Structure 1
Amino acid sequence: AVEFGCSNNTSTNTVTVTVDGTLVDPADLDYSLNNGTFQTSNVFVDVPAGTGHTITVRHTNGCEKQTLPFDIPQYDPLAVVLEEGGFNEIVAVTTGGSGDYEYTLNGEPYGSTDT
């Protein structure tokens, strides 16, 4: 599973590999991102943006299984520039991030309205 977040206006992510504990003891496994160094944790934090990442799960008996490839998109930091609109209007021009933007002015919600 890949979860995305934001810290100090910088995109973050956490990739977690889940193994069926009824089939194997998770204590007998270690994990490698993109054929790198193996680690005991099944959690990878802040995987670099890019395509075709894989995680290899290795058992103490030497057997290995690789995940399907997954992608981590690049998200640009949020930026807001205020511009003059019509009479008595301010327009928030927003870039970066992902999804729909939501606006507030002095604590009052404006939803997706940027003016």
Structure 2
Amino acid sequence: MPAAPSAPAPNPEPPYDLAPSDDRCATVATPDRHTARLHLAGDLDHTTADELLALAVRQIATQPGLRDLHLNCAQVRACDPMGLSVLLALYRRTSAAGIHLHLDDRPPAPVTAS
């Protein structure tokens, strides 16, 4: 009887893509071993902030040599105080690790009447 084929070994090299759990979550792309791009969508608020922090921390841990962490904010609709808190926490973690945090494609600030 022939042996059953073995499962392919996990690839330790990029891309380290992590699948989103739903449409509000970030997706990850790794164009090279020194760069990760998290594409955010929806609201960055009390319901999604912890998930973003966990995803970013996991990406930092699984991608040795990371130098630049880009958060693409083009599809972010809103950011509440919890979202801002997570961005600050990410900034502190990346700075301590020698990683540059980039907030890319931020939507323009809303115009308010004076």
TM over 0.5: no
Larger Rg, first or second structure (1 or 2): 1
Identify the structure with the greater helix proportion. 2
Q: How high is the TM-score relative to the length of structure 1? A: 0.22
Structure ranking higher in strand proportion = 1
TM-score when normalising by structure 2: 0.22
